[in-house]
Amino acid sequence: MDIKQLLQDYGVHYLTEGHKHCREGWVNIPCPFCAGSPGYHLGIHENGNGTHCWRCGTHPISKILSRVLNLAEPQVWAILQKYKITRYRKQIIEPTVSIFPLKFPKPNTKLTPQYKEYLVKRGFDPDKLKKEWGLSQTGPVSFLDGISYSHRILIPIHWNKEIVSFQGRDITDKSKLKYLACPKKREKIHHKDIVYGKQEDWSGTLIIVEGVTDVWRFGVHAVATFGIEFKMEQVLQLKDAGDEFFIVFDDESQAQRQARELMVKLKALGKKVYIETVKGDPGGMKQDDADHFVRQLLKRR
């Protein structure tokens, strides 16, 4: 059983879609702690082990249901036990076992001179990227599950020191899809439920960027959301990763709108958040300029 069944049985109306705050795997109800317009600002993870109000932050599931059901907390705990919903705990995303194991497209090889030259032209040191990020490549013909990954740099995605997914970056600039992700059924963890970077080095101040190449450019203080669209799961991972954030998305209008939305959500969780911009794509900066930019941000801590 899950939180949806509990809410149905106790006559509490909820939404799972059709509202701007609805996210996959979450149910939304009016927040009993917010003043003013009720709205469906309060999200509860479907297994009951995560809550978040877009206005006033996180609340224990017991206190939420105590107010919503007008019951004392001991009564609420009995109900949660009945529905096999445990107490709220920090969201921990672990790899799952799948009948479709994680695989990379085949054939794949170490980086060849052609692919290294592509990275050099973009201002990267290919040997350093290979060592730090484990890059490899496909060739003119490479498939996984019938999907063509030809002419792509393969980028492993790590979580808790384990490879859980990958992205393939087209080097021809002719593909409609610049980045092509691992098929979802093969991901140990869906890449949009986590964020990209050197997880072991995250603390204090972090720079939130869009993509993996932005992280390569900015270094260990950077973390990517795999595009400007983000999920609540990623917001919660960021919340646990640092205390202060600089969001550096591309300078075009849609990216900046998403940056502002992400800022609002992190601030609602008690974080210090600032939006910074650079001209064009952060991943396209010269390395010396990027290093200087990062140093200037970190001095503001």
* 209-229 residue pLDDT tens: 999 999 999 999 999 999 999
All CATH 3.90.980.10 domain ranges in the chain, comma separated: 113-190
* Distance between CA atoms of residues 143 and 265, nearest Å: 38
* Distance between CA atoms of residues 269 and 245, nearest Å: 12
| pLDDT the model gives residue 226 | 97
Joined together, the tokens standing for residue 109 give 């090889």
- Specify burial of residue 81 (Cβ count, 10 A radius: 0-12, 13-18, 19+): exposed
What are the tens digits of pLDDT across the range 113-172? Answer: 999 999 999 999 999 999 999 999 999 999 999 999 999 999 999 999 999 999 999 999
Q: How many residues does the chain have?
A: 301
Calculate the CA dihedral of residues 55, 60, 64, 69 and round it to 10 degrees.
Answer: 170
CB-CB contact of 31 with 42 (8 Å):
yes
| pLDDT the model gives residue 37 | 64
Which residue is it, tokens 């092509």?
180
All CATH 3.40.1360.10 domain ranges in the chain, comma separated: 199-299
What are the tens digits of pLDDT across the range 232-280? Answer: 889 989 999 999 999 999 999 999 999 999 998 898 888 999 999 999 8
Task: Name every residue whose Cβ is closer than 8 Å to that of residue 301 and which is 6 or more positions away in sequence.
Answer: 204, 205, 244
From the list 224, 222, 166, the residue with the least C-alpha distance to 195 is 224
User: How many other CB atoms are there within 10 angstroms of residue 286's CB atom?
Assistant: 10
| Mean pLDDT, all residues of the chain | 90
Residue 90 reports pLDDT greater than 60 = no
If pLDDT is split at 50, 70 and 90, which confidence band does 91 have? low
Query: Among 3.90.980.10, 3.40.50.300, 3.40.50.12240, 3.30.1280.10, what is the CATH number of 113-190?
Result: 3.90.980.10
* Distance between CA atoms of residues 221 and 293, nearest Å: 12
| pLDDT the model gives residue 88 | 42
The reported pTM is: 0.72
Residue 94 reports pLDDT greater than 80 = no
Joined together, the tokens standing for residue 227 give 């595009």
Query: Among 3.40.1360.10, 3.40.50.300, 1.10.3720.10, 3.30.1310.10, what is the CATH number of 199-299?
Result: 3.40.1360.10
